[in-house]
Structure 1
Amino acid sequence: MHSYATPIHVVRESQPDMPVWCFRPERVTASAKWFRESFSAEPFYAVKANPGVHVLDALWAGGVRSFDCASDREVELIRTRFPSARIAFLHPVKNRRAIARAYHEFGVRIFVTDTMAELNKILEETGHPSDLTIIVRVAVSCEGAALPLAGKFGASADDAAEILREARRYADELGVSFHVGSQALKPTAWATAMADVSRIIITAGVTVDIVDVGGGFPSIYADGAPPSLESYAAMVEASFENMFVLENADLWCEPGRALVAESESLLCRIDLVKEDAIYINDGSYGALYDAVHERWQFPMRVISGNGRKMKGMKAYTIYGPTCDSTDKFPEQIMLPANLGEGDYIEFGNLGAYGRAMSSRFNGFGETEVVEVQDAPWPSLYGSVGAEVVSIGSIATR
């Protein structure tokens, strides 16, 4: 991987034609350190957020040793790269082959379920062993989450109590989990969920060894900062003390976005300016899915391709590279009025889900990765730097 001082140096020295991921390993170091030292929950990194091997290596170097995997492919990736890693297979619906591979080929012993049918699949494909850790996922409210996850996964209170009783018969260790939604902006969501889960445990009448409070821990974007991560940790830890679980029960969490969002930005080339329209080489079928479809406001900055001074401001519509006419930003963006072909837009704090959700539609999607040393974007873990243009806003700061 090539290393540069800043993305400006990337532009000056290589004039890249394809989108470039600008990786900032010190951001991963900072986030991993916070979760290890400032939160008593064991972090299981949600691999789905960013499976880039350079990101995984930085997390490992930062002390992260546990991983939340959603498929046998992710399990294989982690076990191959980090043989001693602790892996949890935390997708509530798994096919039988994936369960068998995870247990027999890759040594996974931690599985999640939210139905009796899935519990039976796990037991059958693993051979009813005595070393399973079974986590029962419970449905909870997603109020306050930018991306609610309610509806698809999670057992109801009555069903969860029944599954817990049945799982306790077979599990070496038994746990409960939930997910309050992605980019959850209310720390109280965890307090509410943990109180609900505690009541379910009492109803089930079983001992519980593990409480997994899931993911949802936020990152910071151009539309404002969430509450401090310390407030989330304090809320979770206080709520855990009041739960009806074993005194020596373990507390887990599944951070994805909060660990890696700040680690990468994407440098996109402007291929055409047509009146008030800009065409760039990434879009809704690439790393900018959330910016287009979910209206997420990523911080951004313009980098001149030839070093000229940017002048004035103008409202532009930004289009991605594909043939789909819906491959465009939902709102016009205020950007320098003298933009032209060969200039670049850098989208910051895109390290979570940008890479993971990219497709190869129309043959696009090829990128390169470089390492940079600057830290221009808002951070939950440290200082801020350069000028940022807010997407969907006529203001700059």
Structure 2
Amino acid sequence: MRELRFASLDEVVDRLNPSYPVFVVFPDVLEARAKAFLEGFPGTVLYAVKCNPDPHVLRALYRAGIRHFDTASLPEIAKLSELFPDIHCYFNHPVKSRGALESASDVYGIEHYVVDHINELDKLVEVVGTDITVEVRVTTPKNTSVYNLSSKFGAQPDAAVALLKEARARGCRTAIAFHVGSQCPDPSAYRASMTVANDVVRRAGVPIEYFDVGGGFPADYGDPIPPLDAYFEEIRAAKRDLAIEAPLFAEPGRALVADGCSVLAQVQLRKGDDLYINDGIYGTLSEIHLSDLRPPVRAIRRGKTRELAGALKPFRLFGPTCDSLDVFKVKFELPDDIAEGDWIEFARLGAYSIGMQSGFNGFFTDTIVQVSGASPISGF
């Protein structure tokens, strides 16, 4: 992997003149976002590594002070442990293989594990033992989040009560967790879920090491969302009103890193209002297709011209693979004089981008550059 540093994104275009897609990391933005969470959230901040596992991103968050990481697999635990020996990893995937559990415990000394079913608790205790913290994940009330994670994970309240009691009876330390769903536009969703989780704790009657409010903090993709402080204040007030004494944890991903990265793709062919570019739904732009996101875009032309002069018009974008499905459902407003050889910057793509690319058809983004400051269209 090539590690390159530039003063601006325009300099990337001028110096590299790339015919391949480039993933652009803005470390200054990532560090600022991390500090906003560390200073604003009323508890311990765990970065959700699945959101963007690139080492450039991880190092920026670490420099800002992030020392706790929400990991979902053994490879994530291994990467973080090798990069930063002094950090703390939490194995927060509710379903884990026996081999992964054995290595997580014996090799990396992981002490925190999430469960949402009695069979997973049985497996966990059998493989790892009881000198651990078992974090029971409870399902959350339905809300307006883009992704409803409770459709896959989370014990119903009665089952969560039983799991907490059983984990404690076996000698484990206990904690409670939930996740309101990714890209949650409503701060009150946290209060509603905290109310459910707090009732589970009360009914279980066991001591709680910490109260994990999960992730779901949104990024700005153009639709109105409340400021980050509104979420922190709602969580802080709910803790007070519900008389929650345990320390709070959170697992932000998207809101930490979305503003901190862009994707630079090149136009390789224009057919009328159709543009064929060198990244697509199987690459770093996959979430645009999966959830109809509309990240900010701008066209860049190499050389003195730089900004294109044409009026904005909607274009359909095709990715580079030979698959006819490799086309975005949403159209993007770009200058009508855009042509083959120009570049398109897709901003606010730090979340669920480079970590989700597949390499299908041989197309893969492996050039990652760091740029000072922020993207001119990120709004950060």
| TM-score, normalised relative to structure 2 | 0.95
- Mapped contact 1:134–1:171 kept (Cα < 8 A): no
* Deviation for aligned residue 1:217: 0.7
Q: Which residue of 1 aligns with 2:337?
A: 338
- Mapped contact 1:25–1:263 kept (Cα < 8 A): yes
Letter paired with 1:132: I
Q: Which residue of 2 aligns with 1:387?
A: none
Q: Which residue of 2 aligns with 1:280?
A: 277
Q: Which residue of 1 aligns with 2:46?
A: 44
Q: Which residue of 2 aligns with 1:328?
A: 327
- Mapped contact 1:198–1:244 kept (Cα < 8 A): no
For residues 283 and 338 of structure 2, the distance between their equivalents in structure 1, rounded to whole angstroms, comes to 22
* Deviation for aligned residue 1:41: 1.8
Q: Which residue of 1 aligns with 2:309?
A: 310
For residues 209 and 85 of structure 2, the distance between their equivalents in structure 1, rounded to whole angstroms, comes to 25
Q: Which has the higher contact order (CA 8 A, sep 6+)?
A: 2
- Mapped contact 1:173–1:210 kept (Cα < 8 A): no
Letter paired with 1:71: S
For residues 192 and 242 of structure 1, the distance between their equivalents in structure 2, rounded to whole angstroms, comes to 12
Letter paired with 2:117: T
Q: Among residues 94, 111, 136, which one is paired with 1:92 in the alignment?
A: 94
1:79-135 alpha-carbon deviations (Å, 9 max, x no partner): 111111111000000011111110111010000100011011111111x24x31110
Q: Tell me the SS of whatever aligns to 2:217.
A: coil
The question of 1:204 aligning with 2:201 is answered: no
1:190-230 alpha-carbon deviations (Å, 9 max, x no partner): 00001111111222222222100000011111x23410111
For residues 290 and 196 of structure 1, the distance between their equivalents in structure 2, rounded to whole angstroms, comes to 31
- Mapped contact 2:311–2:335 kept (Cα < 8 A): yes
- The 5 Å alignment of 1:1-397 reads 1-126=3-128, 128-129=129-130, 131-221=131-221, 223-243=222-242, 245=244, 247=245, 249-308=246-305, 309-376=308-375, 384=380
Q: Tell me the SS of whatever aligns to 1:146.
A: coil
For residues 234 and 171 of structure 2, the distance between their equivalents in structure 1, rounded to whole angstroms, comes to 29
Q: Tell me the SS of whatever aligns to 1:101.
A: helix
1:126-185 alpha-carbon deviations (Å, 9 max, x no partner): 1x24x3111000001241212221211000011111001001123553110000000100
Q: Which moved more, 1:166-175 or 1:264-273?
A: 166-175
Q: Tell me the SS of whatever aligns to 2:265.
A: strand
Structure 1 229/261 Cα, relative in aligned 2: closer, same or farther at 3 Å?
A: same
* Deviation for aligned residue 1:34: 1.0
* Deviation for aligned residue 1:2: 2.0
- Mapped contact 2:274–2:316 kept (Cα < 8 A): yes
1:267-288 alpha-carbon deviations (Å, 9 max, x no partner): 0011111111100000000111
* Deviation for aligned residue 1:254: 0.3
For residues 10 and 120 of structure 2, the distance between their equivalents in structure 1, rounded to whole angstroms, comes to 51
Structure 1 344/142 Cα, relative in aligned 2: closer, same or farther at 3 Å?
A: farther
- Mapped contact 1:18–1:367 kept (Cα < 8 A): no
- Mapped contact 1:270–1:280 kept (Cα < 8 A): yes
Identical-residue share of aligned pairs (%) = 39
- Mapped contact 2:28–2:373 kept (Cα < 8 A): no
- Mapped contact 2:41–2:232 kept (Cα < 8 A): yes
For residues 171 and 351 of structure 2, the distance between their equivalents in structure 1, rounded to whole angstroms, comes to 33
* Deviation for aligned residue 1:373: 2.0
Letter paired with 1:259: L
Structure 1 170/35 Cα, relative in aligned 2: closer, same or farther at 3 Å?
A: farther
* Deviation for aligned residue 1:306: 4.4
Please provide the CA RMSD for this pair. Answer: 1.5
Letter paired with 2:365: E
Q: Which residue of 2 aligns with 1:388?
A: none
- Mapped contact 2:190–2:213 kept (Cα < 8 A): yes
Letter paired with 1:25: P
| TM-score, normalised relative to structure 1 | 0.91
Q: Which moved more, 1:117-126 or 1:223-232?
A: 223-232
* Deviation for aligned residue 1:263: 1.3
Q: Which residue of 2 aligns with 1:394?
A: none
Task: Provide the aligned length of Structure 1 versus Structure 2.
Answer: 376
Q: Tell me the SS of whatever aligns to 1:356.
A: helix
- Mapped contact 1:218–1:258 kept (Cα < 8 A): yes
Unaligned 5+ segments in structure 1 are 385-397
